[in-house]
Structures are given as structure tokens and as C-alpha cells.
């Protein structure tokens, strides 16, 4: 009954949805979220280019571009959020000793994700994926987990750093 009441109230009031990584030290961190978001950014850039390459555009094409741009910007923000959380909540003195470049790398990712929000140049998206991969390697190094690179099995088919969990 309580659930039904809250659900009805939500339809009328429209509660804001809160999303956050908790500030309780759960120790569950993984750069995969940032990697998938960076790949999505590149894929969305590719899709925007496909629409552009059609030549003459109809109103539906402009609507599709608007949706794709919105999603690309959302993916870029997701990269920033995921990296910021790992950098701010997981990385402590021992990790910074292992990866002294962590601050500069994180800052570079923030700047590159902003470039991806501002434009549609695939090369900028590929740079973002490369930086996030570098961050993933650093993260897994601090966990003592070896990594390997492989092409992701979906568009945009770029190389991604994966943890080697078999050992």
C-alpha cells in the first residue's frame, strides 16, 4: 500500500531522482563505467557523422542529431563523474605513490571529456578512450591485477584495457 501511495504521489509531484556513488567506503570501484562511457562518446560521434553524410537533411534528421548530441554530452559527463569518484574516493596516499601521475592524468581526462562535449571530432573521442584506458591500467596496478588490451566486441571496436582476473 505504501508503495502505491508513493508511486501516485510521484506522478503528481515528480520527485527528483538522486544518483550517487555512496560516501560509505564500500571499496567497490571499477573504471569500466568510464571506459564504456568513453566508447559510447566515440560511437555517438560516429552516428552523428553518419547522419551528416546523408547530405540533405530532413527535420527528423535534425531531431536525431539533437538526441545524439545530448547522449554524447551525457556520456562525456559520465566519464568525468566515474573518474572523479575513483580519483577522489579510492585513490589515497599509497595509490598516489604507485601512480604519481594520477592527478595529472585525472585532470587530462576532465579536459578531454570537456572537448568531447564541445565537439564531434572522433579523434578527440579516441584520445578520451586512450586516457581512460591509461587510468584503468593505473587503477588495476594499484589493485595488483594485471591487465591486457583487446578490441571491444561492439562499435566503435576500439582497444580497451581489461583486468586479467584469471590469474
For 145-158, the pLDDT digits (tens) are 999 999 999 999 99
Within 13 A of 37's CA, how many CA atoms are on the CB side?
23
Q: Is the pLDDT of residue 26 over 90?
A: no
Q: Residue 27 — very low, low, confident or very high, per pLDDT cuts 50/70/90?
A: confident
Q: Residue 30 — very low, low, confident or very high, per pLDDT cuts 50/70/90?
A: very high
In this prediction, residues 69-73 reach a mean pLDDT of: 98
* Ordered structural domains, the chain, with CATH: 28-163 (1.20.120.400)
Q: What predicted TM-score, i.e. pTM, was given to this entire model?
A: 0.85
Amino acid at each position: 500500500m505504501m508503495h502505491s501511495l508513493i508511486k501516485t504521489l510521484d506522478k503528481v509531484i515528480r520527485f527528483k531522482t538522486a544518483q550517487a556513488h555512496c560516501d560509505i567506503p564500500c571499496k567497490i570501484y571499477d573504471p569500466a563505467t568510464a571506459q564504456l562511457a568513453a566508447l559510447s562518446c566515440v560511437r555517438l560521434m560516429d552516428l552523428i557523422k553518419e547522419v551528416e553524410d546523408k547530405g540533405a537533411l530532413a527535420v527528423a534528421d535534425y531531431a536525431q542529431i539533437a538526441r545524439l548530441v545530448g547522449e554524447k554530452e551525457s556520456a562525456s559527463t559520465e566519464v568525468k563523474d566515474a573518474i572523479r569518484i575513483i580519483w577522489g574516493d579510492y585513490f589515497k596516499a599509497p595509490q598516489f605513490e604507485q601512480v604519481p601521475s594520477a592527478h595529472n592524468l585525472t585532470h587530462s581526462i576532465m579536459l578531454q571529456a570537456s572537448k568531447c562535449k564541445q565537439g564531434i571530432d572522433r579523434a578527440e573521442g579516441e584520445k578520451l578512450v586512450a586516457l581512460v584506458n591509461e587510468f584503468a591500467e593505473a587503477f588495476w596496478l594499484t589493485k595488483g591485477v594485471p591487465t591486457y588490451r583487446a578490441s571491444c566486441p561492439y562499435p566503435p571496436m576500439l582497444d580497451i584495457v581489461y583486468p586479467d582476473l584469471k590469474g
